[in-house]
Structure 1
Amino acid sequence: MFPDPRIVVSTAEESLPLAIRELELDFGPEAKVEAIGPEMAVVTAPSLSAQEVADRCEAAPLVFPRHLTVEVALLDADADLDRIAAAALAAVREAALPPSLALQVWVSGPSSYEFGPAAVFGAIAAELDAAGYAVARSGRRHVLSCCLTPRGILLGLNETRDSLSDWPGGGVRLSKSRDQISRAEFKLEEALTEFGLDLPAGGNALDLGAAPGGWTRILRRRGLRVWAVDPGDLDERLARDGQIKHLKVTAGRFLHSNRTVFDVAVNDMRMDPKLSCELMVRVAAHLAPGALAVVTLKTGSREVLATVKACLEILTGPYEILHARQLRHNRHEITVVARRTDAPAD
């Protein structure tokens, strides 16, 4: 056991320095933040809890951490499966967890292990099952994490509500469907899944920068009527859908003439992130109170934290920021989920 709780933070490899800087700025000098792998950092401070870190990630928001666990053991890299399974069972028993829990295993960085996550999962699950524990992959109150890292096998335990994500290391895995139009669909699918967003059935949705129609397809699949705004063409498979209205105009021209009130608005346009947020402020005047808005901010790689802060400040007022995070399917992007407030937009 360690003298102070060690909160392990997972992030995208290219964003690890940004995640560390966010944590340092938010928790101040009494907290020590250090990298422990290509995608992981550890935060330590007296009496610091995973719940406190998770709450700060959501409230601040801190956008680059995407998974948390509390380190309870670190085994040597030469540990075999039997030793890993025995250590996992000992950690669960010491924590006096209920007899049903989730087990999540993943690899961080290059791996030289003779076994992979599937073999580790099987060994730990068998050990726990023999001891009377019911093991699932997700959806339980507590989660046992096992990460194969270059420095050793890390075991972590915490409540799922404080993990930020119910996926191993925050790595949401989505499968391509037969009718998928573009890989950009994964970004919206992940946001809906990761944040547990409830979209209204039968309402009106606005998709800005819709072409070729991936996000429009997802919104239609959820039962929404979609106004797809983009000068470009939509996939021909969407042309026969009478609940999709394709307007081949710019977003600015559409908002100037539109009189429809929308229940959902999404924006995955490739544009300067501050301009994108200013556009979403204009969109707010066309949304019903309480309507959801999802926008991806193309932050680039320079002055990222300052850009994200400025963007969220622009959105605050007409919107309440619900979530802001770099998801697994983002690339130099941040997904922001906001709710239209009752206050009129400027």
Structure 2
Amino acid sequence: MEINFTHNKERFYITLPHPPTAEGISAAAKIRGELKNKAKWGILTDADIASAKGIEVEDSAVIVRAGTLFQEVAQTYLRRWKGDKNSKGNYVNILNYHWMPHLALMPIHTITHDDIQYLIVAREFNTAKTLNNCLIPLRGVFETAIKSKLITENPMAGIENEKVQIGIPDPFSRVEMNALLDWLDINLEGKDQFYHWYFELAFWCGCRPSEMIALRWSDIDWFNGTMRISKSRVRGVEKGVTKTHTVREVYLNDRSTRALKEIQKLKMSNDYVMICPETNEPFYGEETARNRLVDAMQACGIRHRPAYNARHTYATMLLMDGVNPVFVADQLGHSLQMLMKRYAKWMHGDKNKIEMAKLNTN
């Protein structure tokens, strides 16, 4: 937890060894008050600041600076962060949980490559992806130290990401999709009918859930039959960009157009297209809608897949029907290379089955 105050026109940032709990916040407020009072009366010493940071000082009058601590550089890294708030929050959690307990009070220049390698082994990360994600803010802290000329060599050099097995999309078949939509149509009543049309649109437009819940009626071009996808909404925070930072026009078809018109008839909002029936507010995330599709999968006996796979279903239906891959890539917001990498299995339609059938003719 960080406190800060101004003394003699200088801003002091001090990271305290206290957790962000009610007790920790109370302790931090008390420490900050004491430091401010000492600064006001001109009796603030380096020893006072060191003590607040949790550093034991034998001589309370004099402190020999041992160098800038890891926790101080971490706070500088976070203050300079220019990315989205959601990522910053994740990095704060990663630093607090995985790295601060071991590195916080170590001078940044004393941390070695071997120290970090040992910590990585000791943490026993469950998956390679988790490890790779946790290394991002750690690298950021040491890169900040390099830029601030606190260290000359980066101890993260040579610590590479683990290889992550990349899975292939797992779409619903058309039969499964229609069974799910039929179940939602039959079993949801009143305002909950919204979720039937939500997934009708999801299956037939291919948008990411974060893009759908950020969609506004002003983004719908009824005359030209398109939706302008330029925003996303993650954990209740509106982001003025999509995941790929690319604006695109998604063409509507008969089923996606009908879904939008049915949602419009519900008159839930003149602003956002997607309004949560339970709260009458824009969606915080896609969990509520996702749970409805989970209910439908269980009721229909359909193998569980993430609701996100409605997007994969749209992509594979287009490809299986022989739609131009360039158009499909534009609709999804992918590059053609990414589309081919992810959906190569479906790009030949039923030709794969025809080729496999040849094995049975000999």
TM-score, with length taken from structure 1: 0.28
TM-score, with length taken from structure 2: 0.27
Larger Rg, first or second structure (1 or 2): 2
